Structure 1
Amino acid sequence: MTDTESPPEPSFPDDLEAVRTALIEWYEDDHRDFPWRRTDDPYAILVSEVMSQQTQLGRVVEAWEAFLERWPTTAELAAADRADVVGFWTDHSLGYNNRAKYLHEAAAQIEAEYGGEFPETPAELQELMGVGPYTANAVASFAFNNGDAVVDTNVKRVLYRAFDVPDDDSVFEDAANDLMPAGRSRVWNNGIMELGGVACGQTPRCDEAGCPWREWCSAYETGDFTAPDVPTQPSFEGSRRQFRGRIISTLKEYNELELDRLGPRIRVDYAPDGEYGREWLEGLLADLADEELVELDRDGESVVARLRR
């Protein structure tokens, strides 16, 4: 396809109402029972969406329940010590700690700028710290039934296989919105994401999961289950993300440490002048300082790191 050519059109069935009804009935009949699917509280849903970014949903449940038990409202989260929120994130292995910082700041925004009431549209929700288009739309959909079609990796895979939607982000979004029944973003987005997670994974389970779209699905008819490439997570073991998490955990325990006392607690082969020495450690700390997660005090050649409060 040249730069001037338009991508090919999806192959939607003539009876879209039957397609929509089949998915909704399949979802409502039986689906994975995650606790955030049993609430329309926008705060609880925002927490689940932020925690679920690149984290397996099964691991999120315990962390989500513990987080809401500790900080059950935006008011209580906004009043919390940010170091405690970041420490919770690290203790529960929830990935990038700046998500915890942004969630804390978003809670403060809701209290200060919105009088404790959540905005309800995707555009308004994007004004919150750390809330991008996908998360804003998910919260609008699941809390207020007021969103557009959610398009994540699972949804793209479903649309590509079932209806030959070409691998083009704008076409995926248009196709997803064309399929979604008006005024039903809550059940529809839950349903199509469930379809991608349960029946139409990288290894499809069409018959086993009772996929409701088999009679219309191009991949099921042809046996060609290729799909757009799925981004892979870089290895966590030995990654900068792993060592950043160790820094947060260590400073949470010791309050503050000078570099050469912090380094050996981060990796056993730390050597001040070695490959993994002060320069390497200062690079990690500089990133965390830029994200306002740690503070660095310099006194000559001595550098002391502490969690920012």
Structure 2
Amino acid sequence: MTDEEGDRSDGVEGIGDGDIDAVRGALVSWYEADHRSFPWRETDDPYEILVSEVMSQQTQLDRVIDAWHDFLDRWPTAEVLAAADRADVVAFWSDHSLGYNNRAKYLHEAAGQVIEEYDGDFPESPAELSELMGVGPYTANAVASFAFNNGDAVVDTNVKRVLYRAFDVEDDDAAFERVAAGLMPEGKSRVWNNAIMELGGVACGKTPRCDEAGCPWRQWCHAYGTGDFTAPDVPTQPTFDGSRRQFRGRVVRFLGEHDEMGLDTLGHRIRVDYTPDGEHGREWLRELLEELADDGLVEVEETGDETIARLRS
């Protein structure tokens, strides 16, 4: 990378000082004219937005929509969720294939914190929201942005890809953070973060659709001008089928349907190749249950010669 190219990642100088307002305006106008409709984009309720953000982690958005509606029908407010049986929340999570079940546990605990520590009023800044159980920096910033218009520039995989291609930003987290912060108009985190993530999801995906999607940044875009549409390296997600995550989910689902279950009965329920003394047998299942117990999701009781597992209430 040349010195000139290196300078481009230190801010938004690569756009040109006279173009920054045009770049911002073009993206916001493009987004406001037409964007994908998701129900959580139609609300500024921090609880509803938090639920959507937690559900969306490593889950396709189309699958999240029904789960989000079902969840809010059952637990419409943080107060109702906090009062719910955690086992029911975890079972819902597993039934809807929403990924790691400890996210359900943390969401339940976060709702309790809002009620007990904040008198039912959600904190509004990213720093305060990060104090909620299971809420990391990205989720905290998203809730602050979309509920309170009080966030910083979001930098997720989609945003990194956009910045890398459009403004030739080096593949470095600090560089992405600097450029994203420099681009976002002050006090506009709600519309801006929605817009730039929409750009990455619709126009600048793995296979770019610049002209088809009417990308608003074509006249400034380095990739569009050069034809080089490479993207930053993204860690490959492990496959779900056959993973420990899949079997953890099956354990929680079956225990949610029964008050308790013996070790071998549970083993045969969750995998067809379960053999008590085999590779995927009692030792393997006990390790799986220990993980779930460490996450506060299940209880394991040794009763004589029998091992009994149940969801933790």
Asked if Structure 1 and Structure 2 have the same fold, meaning a TM-score greater than 0.5 normalized by the shorter chain, the answer is: yes
Runs of at least 4 residues of structure 1 off by over 6 A? none
| 2:270 corresponds to | 266
Q: Secondary structure at the match of 1:249?
A: helix
Say which of 90, 100, 106 aligns to 1:86.
90
Whole-angstrom distance in 2 between the partners of 1:103 and 1:113 = 15
Say which of 112, 119, 135 aligns to 1:115.
119
Tell me the number of residue pairs that the alignment of Structure 1 and Structure 2 aligns. Answer: 305
User: In the TM superposition, what whole-angstrom CA distance separates every residue of 1:205-256 from its partner, at most 9, and x where no partner exists?
Assistant: 0000000000000000000000111232211111101100110111111221
Whole-angstrom distance in 2 between the partners of 1:191 and 1:211 = 11
Give the partner amino acid of 1:9.
R
User: In the TM superposition, what whole-angstrom CA distance separates every residue of 1:16-38 from its partner, at most 9, and x where no partner exists?
Assistant: 00000000000000000100000
Q: Secondary structure at the match of 1:207?
A: coil
**TM-score, length of structure 1 as denominator length:** 0.97
Q: Secondary structure at the match of 2:228?
A: coil
Q: Secondary structure at the match of 2:8?
A: coil
CA shift, 1:170, in A, is: 1.1
| 1:244 corresponds to | 248
1:13 equivalent in alignment to 2:12: no
**TM-score, length of structure 2 as denominator length:** 0.96
1:257 equivalent in alignment to 2:261: yes
Contact kept in structure 2, 1:13 and 1:216, CA below 8 Å: no
Contact kept in structure 2, 1:297 and 1:305, CA below 8 Å: yes
Q: Secondary structure at the match of 2:301?
A: strand
| 2:310 corresponds to | 306
| 2:149 corresponds to | 145
- RMSD, aligned CA: 1.2
Give the partner amino acid of 1:268.
V
Whole-angstrom distance in 2 between the partners of 1:301 and 1:163 = 65
Q: Secondary structure at the match of 2:302?
A: strand
1:73 equivalent in alignment to 2:77: yes
Q: How does 1:171-250 map to 2 (within 5 A)?
A: 171-250=175-254
Contact kept in structure 1, 2:8 and 2:167, CA below 8 Å: no
Indicate the percent of aligned positions where both proteins have the same amino acid: 74
Give the partner amino acid of 1:292.
G
CA shift, 1:300, in A, is: 4.0
CA shift, 1:302, in A, is: 2.0
CA shift, 1:82, in A, is: 0.2
Unmatched 5+ stretches in structure 1: none
User: In the TM superposition, what whole-angstrom CA distance separates every residue of 1:42-62 from its partner, at most 9, and x where no partner exists?
Assistant: 000000000000101011000
Whole-angstrom distance in 2 between the partners of 1:237 and 1:53 = 17
Say which of 109, 116, 127 aligns to 1:105.
109
Contact kept in structure 1, 2:27 and 2:217, CA below 8 Å: yes
| 1:159 corresponds to | 163
CA shift, 1:7, in A, is: 5.6
User: In the TM superposition, what whole-angstrom CA distance separates every residue of 1:236-279 from its partner, at most 9, and x where no partner exists?
Assistant: 11110110011011111122111111110011111111000000
User: In the TM superposition, what whole-angstrom CA distance separates every residue of 1:111-166 from its partner, at most 9, and x where no partner exists?
Assistant: 00000000000000000000000000000000000000000000000000000111
Q: Secondary structure at the match of 2:15?
A: coil
Whole-angstrom distance in 2 between the partners of 1:259 and 1:96 = 22
Say which of 20, 35, 38 aligns to 2:42.
38
Moved more, 248-257 or 52-61: 248-257
Whole-angstrom distance in 1 between the partners of 2:243 and 2:158 = 26
Give the partner amino acid of 2:213.
A
User: In the TM superposition, what whole-angstrom CA distance separates every residue of 1:148-196 from its partner, at most 9, and x where no partner exists?
Assistant: 0000000000000000111111111111000000000000000000000
Contact kept in structure 2, 1:199 and 1:205, CA below 8 Å: yes
Unmatched 5+ stretches in structure 2: none
